[in-house]
Amino acid sequence: MKRISLIAILTIAVQLAVLAQPQFNIQGEEVYKGDDVVFHQIDEHTWVGTGHIMFNESLYLVEGDEKAVLIDAGTNIKDLDKIVASITDKPVMLVATHVHPDHTGASIDYFPELYINPADTVGIPQFMPNYKGDVKYLKDGELIDLGGRQLEVVFTPGHTPGSTTFVDKAAHYGFSGDSFGSGNLLLTTNFSTLLATCEKTSKLMADQGIEKLYPGHFFGPNEETPQRVDDLEKIAKGALSGDIAGETNPGAMLGLDLFINQYGVRVNYNEKALK
Ligand SMILES: [Zn+2]
């Protein structure tokens, strides 16, 4: 009897744990699985790595003929350089979508250089104070040439001042980190900044035929789409005009104690974001 109760309790606990996790369904062949990260193939020369410390923090490996770019480094992935070298034999350049500990965590130390948007330098003292390598700066609109493949650097501030998206125009997709929230945007700047970013990105996606942006917390079915960007634009406009009022969420992450939940996306912010 005692044993049955224990099994029942364990079963309930597992079910609750599963319910608490967003749906996880990443397609594609698993090419690496370790304690800290799992890598799946997106297409022939592109992979997504998934960590398990901060809501499936995602990193992306994008390979060209001559070099590869690693977009973000997760929270704390031991031997990330060796793991990446087991997937690509090309030299790897590390870039970040933004300076936050689940994207520029301890594993950045395996790489001698890290490229960021200079506007996120403000986050370095708090979020990556111990990096021993060289911090280098990206430019808005610059092209990173990987040999037969290019990534365009697109500054998309909002989540942080220096949030950045990397677009592969030929592949019709990009990688946007937390710029559009993966379904749950933490807006640490303000709605005017978010609005400008959505307008810029919406135009870019339409002009370049970009169908989706792989997010910083990828569960499988939650890529950012043109629709998502338009919805965030509507939320930003509504918040600024006062047409959409926020609800309170005391004690929320990063002091973002207000939120708007509309169009299937949640935006977390605070009073300062309205000024
Ligand atoms: Zn994140």
Domains of the chain plus CATH, in order, are 26-189+215-225 (3.60.15.10)
For residue 91 the two structure tokens come to 């030299």
CA of 205 to the centre of ligand 1 (A): 22
How many angstroms separate the CA atoms of 15 and 1, rounded?
A: 21
Is 18's pLDDT higher than 70? no
Ligand 1 geometric centre to CA of 88 (Å): 25
To the question of pTM greater than 0.85 for the whole model, the response is yes
HEC profile of the chain: CHHHHHHHHHHHHHHHHHHHCCCCCCCCCEEEECCCCEEEEEECCEEEEECCCCCCEEEEEEECCCCEEEECCCCCCCCHHHHHHHHCCCCEEEECCCCCCCCCCHHHHHCCEEEECHHHHHHHHHHCCCCCCEEEECCCCCEEECCCCEEEEEECCCCCCCCEEEEECCCCEEEEECCCHHHEEECCCCHHHHHHHHHHHHHHHHHHCCCEEEECECCCCCCECHHHHHHHHHHHHHHHHCCCCCEECCCCHHHCCEEEEECCEEEEECHHHHC
Confidence of residue 3 (pLDDT cuts 50, 70, 90): very low
**Cα 7 to ligand 1 centre (Å):** 35
Spatial neighbors of 54 by CB under 8 A, at least 6 apart, are: 75, 101, 102, 217
Instruction: Give yes or no for a contact between 151 and 168, defined as CB atoms under 8 angstroms apart.
Output: yes
CA of 11 to the centre of ligand 1 (A): 30
Give the Å distance between the CA of 57 and the centre of ligand 1.
Answer: 6
**Which pLDDT value is given to residue 8?**
42
Q: What is the pLDDT of residue 24?
A: 76
Q: How far is the centre of ligand 1, averaged over its atoms, from the C-alpha of 72 (Å)?
A: 10
Ligand 1 center–CA 63 separation, angstroms? 23
User: How far apart are the CA of 223 and the centre of ligand 1, in A?
Assistant: 14
- Separation of 55 CA from ligand 1 center, angstroms? 8
Q: 21 pLDDT exceeds 80?
A: no
Tell how far the Cα of 203 is from the centroid of ligand 1, in angstroms: 25
Cα dihedral 225, 229, 234, 238 in deg (nearest 10)? 130
Distance 133 CA to ligand 1 centre (A): 22
The pairs formed by 149-152 with CB atoms below 8 angstroms and a separation of 24 or more are: 149/45, 149/62, 149/63, 149/64, 149/65, 150/64, 151/62, 151/69
pLDDT tens column, 178-214? 999 999 999 999 999 999 999 999 999 999 999 999 9
Summarize pLDDT for 125-161 with one digit per residue, the tens: 999 999 999 999 999 999 999 999 999 999 999 999 9
Q: Is the pLDDT of residue 162 over 50?
A: yes
169 CA → ligand 1 middle, Å: 24
Q: Confidence class of residue 5 from pLDDT cuts 50, 70 and 90?
A: very low
Q: Output the CA 184–ligand 1 centroid distance in Å.
A: 10
pLDDT on residue 254: 86
